[in-house]
Amino acid sequence: MPSRDVRRCPGHLCAKMREPRRPPDVPAGEASSRVTWSSQMDFIMSCVGFAVGLGNVWRFPYLCYKNGGGVFLIPYLLVALFGGIPIFFLEISLGQFMKAGGINAWNIVPLFKGLGCASMVIVFFCNSYYILVLAWSCFYLAHSFSSPLPWASCNNTWNTAACYEGGANASAEVCPPTAPAQSSIIQFWERRVLRLSSGIGDVGDIGWELCICLIATWMLVYFCIWKGVKTSGKIVYMTATFPYFILVALLVRGLTLNGAVQGIIYYLKPDWGKLGEAQVWIDAGTQIFFSYAIGLGALTALGSYNQFHNDCYKDALILSLVNSATSLFAGLVVFSILG
């Protein structure tokens, strides 16, 4: 009788068994024809450009300031280790296995398909307000090239008699004593950028300059993605690395200011009494989900353009490390200036 170790399957059956599994509900040949990244670095940079943003540079330093400085890093790192990184890996690996976006990827369990639809609704609302923040940034960038800066004085058409020059700590010498004092910076924001009306009954007119900035931002986003991953994977080399050059420049400038050391000490020195507050842990959890951009379906879509046998486990660890390191570095930048 032949021994057990010499039993072999026919060659064509063995080859068929080695083929990658086709995701459910995907016709034959469709998964293999899906476009893939030109290189693995394109995927890494795309995820960095997507996940690293205002949540790291803006929200994380604010939460550190709110929750006792360095003590916030303890719940933040614990939530990242036991929650953020595993879910980050789950989303990338799911997209890579299913070769589908944030909705179709959940065909792996048809009962969960509503999760994909819900994530797309969340992404729609996130993009709607996030793109407006970018429009504000373009508006400020255009006005930053003027001299003197329009928010540095009260000699502009949008300023009122309640305006005083300088920031929050400047002395307010207001003509009508009964009027609430406002700095020139706040008046530029509320009366020039936002053009706030008196109430919901007063709609006001369209701010055409801000509207043009919004249209230009949408057009820029469109031309970044209209050719698919073959071009967007290259554009992110600039869009993902440019914020780091800005952060380095701001850190160098911040370290030259008086009191920078005190600000960094406050950032790194923990207030242990804050650990007993539930809100600190809640803020850490929401910050991880917000900055890692998990639960939105976008990481699943980005992972779907990977090769089937790509080491997504290593990619998830690298991207999570870059994301959290960016938050910590942005905290140094902000607190050096706050000090």
Q: pLDDT, tens digit, for every residue of 65-107?
A: 888 778 888 899 999 999 989 999 998 998 888 888 888 888 8
What is the CB neighbour count within 10 angstroms for residue 169? 6
Placement of tokens 């905290």 in the chain: 331
CA distance 327 to 55: 8
Model-wide pTM > 0.75: no
Placement of tokens 């504000």 in the chain: 136
The token duo for 280 is: 């600190």
Q: Percentage of residues in the chain with pLDDT exceeding 90?
A: 10
pLDDT of residue 218: 92
What are the domain boundaries of the chain? Answer: 36-338
CA distance 153 to 164: 8
The mean predicted confidence, pLDDT, of the chain is: 81
SS3 track for 295-323 = CCCHHHHHHCCCCCCCCHHHHHHHHHHHH
pLDDT of residue 5: 47
CA distance 41 to 67: 36
Number of Cα atoms under 13 Å in the Cβ half of residue 147: 0
pLDDT of residue 25: 46
pLDDT of residue 302: 86
Number of Cα atoms under 13 Å in the Cβ half of residue 20: 15
| Whether pLDDT at 23 is above 70 | no
Which CA distances in Å does 103 have to 37, 108, 192, 278? 20, 11, 41, 34
CA distance 163 to 184: 6
Least confident range from 31-40, 198-207, 267-276: namely 31-40
CA distance 268 to 100: 42
Residue 177, phi then psi, degrees to nearest 5? -60, -25
Mean pLDDT, rounded, for 202-210:
84
312-337: per-residue pLDDT in tens?
889 889 988 988 888 889 888 888 88
| Whether pLDDT at 30 is above 50 | no
| Stretch (H or E) spanning 164 | strand 163-164
CA distance 68 to 88: 27
Residue 223, phi then psi, degrees to nearest 5? -70, -15
121-161: per-residue pLDDT in tens?
888 888 888 899 889 989 998 998 988 888 988 888 888 88
